[in-house]
C-alpha cells in the first residue's frame, strides 16, 4: 500500500452511497451498518478559554482520507495533500494545522478551518492512531519538500542519530529541573500607542521605540520602570526625517543608538542629548546598496564604549560596516556619510538571508527563507562553516547562546533548537562555527504550541522573535527560551528542552517536540518579550526579569522557583 495514503476506500464508498441515496433506496439503520474503513469520531472544542469549554461530537461516526489536489491556477502545476474528514473538514496538510498525537486519549488533535478539532481513535486502538499520524507526516513532508524527495534521504544523511551531545553539552543538566513561577512586578502605560521595538540595555536603561520617539526606562532588579524621559524624533535634528523605524541597536556603552527605518541608511542618536549626531548610507564600490537588518558585532558589543563597527544583512549580503571615517573628516549632517565596508561578501545567489545574530566571540548565525541555518566564523564571512538543512519553513528570527553551543530559530509554527557541538576528526569537541559538522549534526528539537493554545492565540498565531535569556559573560548559561505569539508570551525551560528523558519526548517518533511551557497572556498583541541581562537576576531567582511590551503597556515579570505564589498560565 502507498504509505502516503492515497484516496481511501471510505471516500469511494461515500460517493457510491451518495448516488444510491439519490435513487431513494431503503437503507438499514446506522447501527446495523458495518463501520467504514478509516472510521473515527470527529470532536470539536467549543467555548474556547472559558469555564464552559469542552469537547463535543461533531460527527460520531465518520471517516477520513488524504486526497491529492492540484492548483486551480493555470500557470501552476503545484499539487498538495489535503485531509478530508466526513463533511466537516477539508484542509491542506500543513504545519499550520499543529497536529499533535494525544497518546492518553487515543486521539489526534489539530487546528483547521478556524476551529480546534480532534479525531478520536478510542474504538480502533493505538495502531490506527499511529497509522493516521504516519500518513499525515508523510503528506506533510511531500507538501513541504516535494514527492521527488524522501524524508529518510534528507534527514538521515544530515543528522546523527546519536543524541548524547545534547546532554553532554551541559555539565549542570539536572533530570528534574525546578518549576519556575512567574509573578508580575510592574506594569506601566506607554506614552504613545505606536510602540514597535524594545531595546533592552544591560546597564542603566532600556528603551521603547515608537513612531514619534523613544521612551526611556530605568533597569531595576524587579524589571523596568519609566523615567518620564522621552526623546522626540521631531526635535532630534534629523537631516532627512525618518519614517517608521524597524530596528534599534544600542552601542558605545549604550550611550548611542543606531536607528534603521524604511528609508535607506541609518541614523546615529546620542541618547544622552537626544540628538542625531550622524546619518549614514550603505554603499559599496560607489553604488548604493540596501540592508534589511543590522546587529552588534558580538553578544556584549553594545557595552564597548569605543565600538565603531556593526554587522549588516541583506538577502544575499553579509558584511561588517565601520563608522570611522577613513580620511578623518568631520561629517556634515546635511549630507549622509558613506559607511566603510570593512568586511563581507556579496553572494551571487542562493543564500536568501532573512535574519542573523551573534555569539559572545562574534561568530555569526544566519537564517534563510528556505529554512537553512548557516554558521560563520567571525573572521570569514565569505563561506559558512556549517549549514543546517531547512525543515520546510522560512526562518524569520535566530538567536545564539553566548558560548555558541546552541541556536534557536523562529518559524511561523515552531521554534527549532540546534546543538552546534560535534566531535571533529581529531577527537576534539568543538562547534559548527569553528569547523564543518558534516553528518555529525545532532537532530534538532522543536518547540511547539499545543493545538489548543495555537487556536486560542487567534488569527495572528505566528511565532516571532524567539530569544534565549540574555548572558554577556563567559561561564554563565542561558536558562530559558521566550517567544511571542499574538497575545501570548511563551517561555520554555531550556534545561527541560535539553533533557532527553523529559516526559514530552516519551513515545514520540522522529524529531523530539517539546510542548511544556508557560504562557503570559496580555490584553493586546505583544510587540516583543525578552529577558533582561543576567546581571539583574536576584538571589534565589532562576532568571532575570522578563519584560513584555505591547503597543500601550510595558510589564515586568519576576521568576521564582518557590511554590505557593500566583503564577502565569501553564
pLDDT in tens, 425-458: 888 999 999 999 988 899 999 999 999 999 998 7
Identify the CA nearest to 268 among candidates 336, 182, 318, 178: 336
Distance CA 46, CA 449 (A): 19
Q: Where are the beta strands (DSSP E) in 6-53?
A: 39-46
Per-residue pLDDT of the chain (570 residues; tens, 9 = 90+): 444 445 555 555 667 666 666 666 555 444 445 556 788 999 999 998 888 999 999 999 999 999 998 765 555 567 899 999 999 999 999 999 999 998 889 999 999 999 999 999 988 778 899 999 999 999 998 998 876 555 555 555 567 666 666 765 554 444 445 566 778 877 888 876 678 899 999 999 999 998 888 999 999 999 999 999 998 887 665 555 555 666 899 999 999 999 998 777 899 999 999 998 888 999 998 899 989 999 999 999 999 999 999 999 999 999 999 998 765 444 444 567 889 999 999 998 889 999 999 999 999 999 999 999 999 999 999 999 999 999 889 999 999 999 999 999 999 999 999 999 999 988 899 999 999 998 889 999 999 999 999 999 877 789 999 999 999 999 899 999 999 999 999 999 999 999 888 888 887 777 899 999 999 999 999 999 999 999 999 877 789 999 999 998 999 998 876 543 334 444
Expressed in angstroms, the distance from the first to the final Cα of the chain is: 42
* b (16+ CB within 10 A) / e for 543-559: bbbbbbbbbbbbbbbbb
Give the distance from CA 182 to its chain's centroid: 21
Contacts of 527 (CB under 8 A, 6+ apart): 195, 196, 197, 198, 484, 549, 550, 551
| Paired sense of beta strands 293-295 and 480-485, if any | unpaired
pTM value is 0.86
List every span in the chain annotated with CATH 2.130.10.10. Answer: 160-560
Q: Collapse the DSSP code of 454 into the 3-class scheme (helix H, G, I; strand E, B; otherwise coil) and give the result.
A: helix
Distance CA 319, CA 308 (A): 14
| Strand partners for 389 | none
Contacts of 145 (CB under 8 A, 6+ apart): 151, 154, 392
Judge whether 497 and 417 are in contact, CB under 8 Å.
yes
Judge whether 33 and 87 are in contact, CB under 8 Å.
no
Provide the edge-to-edge strand list for the sheet that holds 275-281.
245-251, 256-261, 266-270, 275-281, 337-338
Contacts of 433 (CB under 8 A, 6+ apart): 359, 363, 365, 375, 376, 377, 385, 386, 404, 420
The phi, psi pair for 383, rounded to 5°, reads -145, 135
**Cell triple for 331:** 561629517
Distance CA 496, CA 515 (A): 11
The predicted pLDDT at position 529 comes to 97
Contacts of 184 (CB under 8 A, 6+ apart): 555, 556, 557
222 to 449, 536, 537: CA distances (angstroms): 28, 8, 8
The predicted pLDDT at position 10 comes to 55
9-149 folds as PH-domain like (2.30.29)
Identify the CA nearest to 165 among candidates 357, 405, 472: 405
Q: What's the CATH superfamily of 160-560? A: YVTN repeat-like/Quinoprotein amine dehydrogenase (2.130.10.10)
| Strand partners for 310 | 321
Rg of the chain over Cα atoms, rounded to whole angstroms, equals: 26
Distance CA 217, CA 201 (A): 9
The predicted pLDDT at position 212 comes to 84
The predicted pLDDT at position 565 comes to 37
List every span in the chain annotated with CATH 2.30.29. Answer: 9-149
Distance CA 98, CA 505 (A): 17
Q: How many CB atoms lie within 10 A of CB 414?
A: 23
Distance CA 130, CA 298 (A): 46
The phi, psi pair for 168, rounded to 5°, reads -65, -25
Tell me the pLDDT of the chain averaged across its residues: 85
- Give the H or E element holding residue 232: strand 223-232
Rounded to whole angstroms, the maximal C-alpha distance in the chain is 95
202: DSSP letter: S
Q: How many CB atoms lie within 10 A of CB 210?
A: 21
The phi, psi pair for 412, rounded to 5°, reads -65, -35
Scan for cell 471510505, then name that residue. 10
Identify the CA nearest to 387 among candidates 370, 362, 401: 370
Distance CA 354, CA 377 (A): 18
Q: Collapse the DSSP code of 185 into the 3-class scheme (helix H, G, I; strand E, B; otherwise coil) and give the result.
A: strand
The phi, psi pair for 178, rounded to 5°, reads -65, 150
Q: Collapse the DSSP code of 10 into the 3-class scheme (helix H, G, I; strand E, B; otherwise coil) and give the result.
A: helix
Distance CA 352, CA 369 (A): 6
Amino acid at each position: 500500500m502507498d504509505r502516503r495514503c492515497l484516496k481511501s476506500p471510505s471516500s469511494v464508498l461515500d460517493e457510491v452511497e451518495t448516488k444510491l441515496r439519490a435513487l431513494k433506496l431503503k437503507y438499514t439503520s446506522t447501527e446495523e451498518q458495518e463501520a467504514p474503513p478509516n472510521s473515527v469520531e470527529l470532536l470539536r472544542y467549543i467555548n474556547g478559554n472559558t469555564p464552559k469549554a469542552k469537547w463535543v461530537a461533531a460527527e460520531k461516526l465518520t471517516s477520513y482520507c488524504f486526497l491529492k489536489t492540484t492548483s486551480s491556477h493555470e500557470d501552476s502545476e503545484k499539487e498538495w495533500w489535503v485531509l478530508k474528514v466526513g463533511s466537516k473538514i477539508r484542509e491542506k496538510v500543513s504545519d499550520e494545522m499543529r497536529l499533535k498525537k494525544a497518546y492518553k486519549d487515543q486521539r489526534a488533535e489539530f487546528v483547521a478551518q478556524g476551529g480546534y478539532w480532534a479525531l478520536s481513535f478510542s474504538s480502533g486502538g493505538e495502531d490506527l492512531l499511529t497509522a493516521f499520524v504516519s500518513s499525515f507526516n508523510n503528506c506533510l513532508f511531500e507538501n513541504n519538500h516535494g514527492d521527488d524527495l524522501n524524508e529518510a534521504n534528507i534527514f538521515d544523511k544530515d543528522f546523527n542519530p546519536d543524541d548524547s551531545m545534547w546532554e553532554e553539552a551541559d555539565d549542570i543538566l539536572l533530570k528534574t529541573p525546578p518549576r519556575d513561577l512567574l509573578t508580575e512586578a510592574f506594569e506601566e502605560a506607554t506614552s504613545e500607542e505606536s510602540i514597535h521595538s524594545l531595546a533592552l540595555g544591560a546597564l542603566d536603561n532600556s528603551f521603547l521605540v515608537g513612531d514619534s520617539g523613544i521612551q526611556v526606562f530605568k533597569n531595576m532588579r524587579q524589571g523596568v520602570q519609566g523615567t518620564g524621559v522621552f526623546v522626540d524624533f521631531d526635535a532630534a535634528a534629523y537631516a532627512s526625517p525618518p519614517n517608521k523605524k524597524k530596528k534599534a541597536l544600542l552601542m558605545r556603552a549604550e550611550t548611542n543608538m543606531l536607528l534603521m527605518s524604511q528609508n535607506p541608511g541609518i541614523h546615529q542618536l546620542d541618547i544622552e542629548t537626544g540628538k542625531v549626531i550622524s546619518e549614514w548610507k550603505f554603499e559599496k564600490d560607489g553604488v548604493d546598496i540596501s540592508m534589511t537588518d543590522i546587529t552588534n558585532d558580538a553578544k556584549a558589543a553594545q557595552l564597548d564604549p569605543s565600538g565603531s563597527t556593526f554587522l549588516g544583512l541583506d538577502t544575499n549580503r553579509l558584511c561588517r560596516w565601520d563608522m570611522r571615517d577613513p580620511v578623518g573628516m568631520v561629517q556634515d549632517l546635511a549630507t549622509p556619510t558613506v559607511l566603510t565596508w570593512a568586511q563581507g561578501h556579496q553572494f551571487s545567489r542562493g543564500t536568501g538571508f532573512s535574519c542573523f545574530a551573534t555569539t559572545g566571540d562574534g561568530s555569526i548565525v544566519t537564517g534563510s527563507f528556505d529554512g537553512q541555518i548557516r554558521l560563520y566564523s567571525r573572521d570569514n564571512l565569505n563561506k559558512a562553516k556549517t549549514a543546517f538543512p531547512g525543515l520546510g519553513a522560512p526562518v524569520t528570527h535566530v538567536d545564539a547562546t553566548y558560548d555558541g553551543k546552541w541556536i534557536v530559530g523562529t518559524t511561523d509554527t515552531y521554534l527549532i533548537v540546534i546543538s552546534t557541538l560535534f566531535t571533529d576528526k581529531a577527537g576534539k569537541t568543538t562547534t559548527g562555527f569553528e569547523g564543518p559538522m558534516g553528518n555529525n549534526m545532532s537532530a534538532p528539537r522543536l518547540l511547539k504550541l499545543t493545538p489548543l493554545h495555537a487556536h486560542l492565540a487567534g488569527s495572528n498565531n505566528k511565532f516571532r522573535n524567539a530569544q534565549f535569556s540574555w548572558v554577556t559573560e563567559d561561564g554563565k548559561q542561558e536558562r530559558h527560551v521566550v517567544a511571542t505569539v499574538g497575545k501570548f508570551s511563551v517561555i520554555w525551560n531550556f534545561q527541560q528542552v535539553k533533557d532527553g528523558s523529559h516526559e514530552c519526548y516519551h513515545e514520540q517518533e522522529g524529531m523530539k517536540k517539546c510542548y511544556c511551557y508557560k504562557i503570559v497572556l496580555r490584553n493586546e498583541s505583544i510587540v516583543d518579550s525578552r529577558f533582561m541581562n543576567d546581571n539583574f537576576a536576584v538571589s534565589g531567582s532562576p532568571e532575570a526579569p522578563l519584560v513584555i511590551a505591547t503597543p500601550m503597556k510595558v510589564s515586568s515579570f519576576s521568576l521564582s522557583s518557590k511554590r505557593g505564589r500566583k503564577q502565569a498560565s501553564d
